[in-house]
């Protein structure tokens, strides 16, 4: 089975801190995604990447950046955390490069609290 | 942009069949429709995918009419363990963005 591992299950940070959320997948997938999930809003796409060093903005990229230096690892960066970034963050990966009618595999999520 | 619309919540009882409908009026020709299931404190997991007509697997069935502007996820004989949020997913934004709707919270009771 595909395994998508997020480095932290729970994270508490202070306003203004730089925050790194790490995600690793073990199935050599080309595509990786970062979503955030908030009550009543469902999952919203922040950024995605379809290849190493490639990135594309999702629907809500403001306040975030990403890094993909290696195929298996996709990092989400909050340059200066704010309280409105308190959320559940979900990483996902998928295969079929260039074709997005595919199956996503999700990690268990990181619940980030910004105080 | 394509947008999906689902009921916010549904209630059912064990042993019943549950049908959850998703509207996706702006679906593109090459898009597939995919449904995911999410339990509390877990990431969503894939349950079924289809393009047209009917698809069935060991978990669910997916019905897609000819115009493809909606789809219906059918869960036969639900149990308490089927209590979860169900998301309908279609391609959006010109081909690159995988966007989820707000999902349907299914609650199954005894």
- Number of H helices and number of E strands within chain B? 0, 10
CA distance B12 to A67: 43
Question: What confidence score (pLDDT) does residue B91 get?
Answer: 63
Please answer yes or no on whether B45 and A100 come within 8 Å at the CB atom. Answer: no
What's the whole-number average pLDDT of chain B?
Answer: 88
Please answer yes or no on whether A48 and B32 come within 8 Å at the CB atom. Answer: no
Query: What average pLDDT does this structure show over B57-81?
Result: 95
* Cβ-nearest to A109 among B31, B43, B96: B43
CB neighbour class for B53 (10 Å; exposed up to 12, middle 13-18, buried from 19): exposed
CB A109 within 8 A of CB A46: no
Please answer yes or no on whether B43 and A103 come within 8 Å at the CB atom. Answer: no
Least confident of A68-72, A96-100, B51-55: A96-100
Question: What confidence score (pLDDT) does residue B93 get?
Answer: 43
Residue A58, φ and ψ in degrees, nearest 5 = -95, -145
Strands B97-100 and B45-50, by their bridges, are unpaired
Question: What confidence score (pLDDT) does residue B92 get?
Answer: 52
Query: What average pLDDT does this structure show over B22-36?
Result: 86
Nearest residue of A to residue B104, measured between CA atoms:
A42
**Interface test with chain A among B30, B31, B44, by most A beta carbons within 10 Å:** B44
Residue A96 pLDDT level (bands cut at 50, 70, 90):
low
Q: Is it the case that residue B41 has pLDDT exceeding 60? A: yes
Least confident of A62-71, B8-17, B33-42: B33-42
Residues B72-90: tens digit of each pLDDT = 999 999 999 999 999 998 8
| Chain A CB contacts of B102 below 8 Å | 40-42
Give the closest-approach CA distance of A90 to chain B in angstroms. Answer: 7
Please answer yes or no on whether B102 and A109 come within 8 Å at the CB atom. Answer: no
Selection from A75, A69, A63, A59 nearest residue A24 by Cα: A75
Residues A10-38: tens digit of each pLDDT = 999 999 999 999 999 998 998 899 999 99
């Amino acid at each position: 089975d595909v395994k998508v591992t997020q480095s932290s299950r729970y994270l508490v940070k202070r306003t203004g801190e730089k925050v790194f959320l790490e995600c690793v997948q073990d199935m050599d997938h080309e595509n990786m995604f970062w979503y955030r999930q908030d009550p009543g809003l469902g999952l919203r796409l922040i950024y995605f990447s379809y290849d190493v060093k490639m990135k594309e903005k999702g629907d809500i990229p403001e306040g975030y950046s990403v890094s993909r230096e290696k195929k298996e690892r996709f990092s989400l960066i909050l340059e200066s955390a704010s309280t409105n970034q308190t959320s559940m963050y979900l990483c996902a990966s998928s295969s079929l490069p260039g074709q997005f009618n595919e199956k996503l595999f999700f990690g268990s999520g990181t619940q980030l609290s910004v105080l | 942009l394509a947008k999906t619309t689902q009921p916010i919540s549904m209630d059912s009882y064990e042993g019943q069949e549950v049908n959850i409908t998703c509207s996706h009026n702006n679906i593109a020709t090459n898009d597939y429709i995919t449904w995911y299931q999410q339990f509390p404190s877990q990431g969503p997991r894939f349950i079924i995918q289809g393009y047209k007509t009917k698809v069935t697997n060991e978990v669910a069935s997916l019905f897609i009419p000819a115009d493809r502007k909606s789809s219906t996820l059918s869960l036969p004989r639900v149990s308490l363990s089927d209590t979860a949020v169900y998301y309908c997913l279609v391609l959006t934004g010109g081909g690159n963005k995988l966007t989820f709707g707000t999902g349907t919270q299914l609650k199954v009771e005894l």
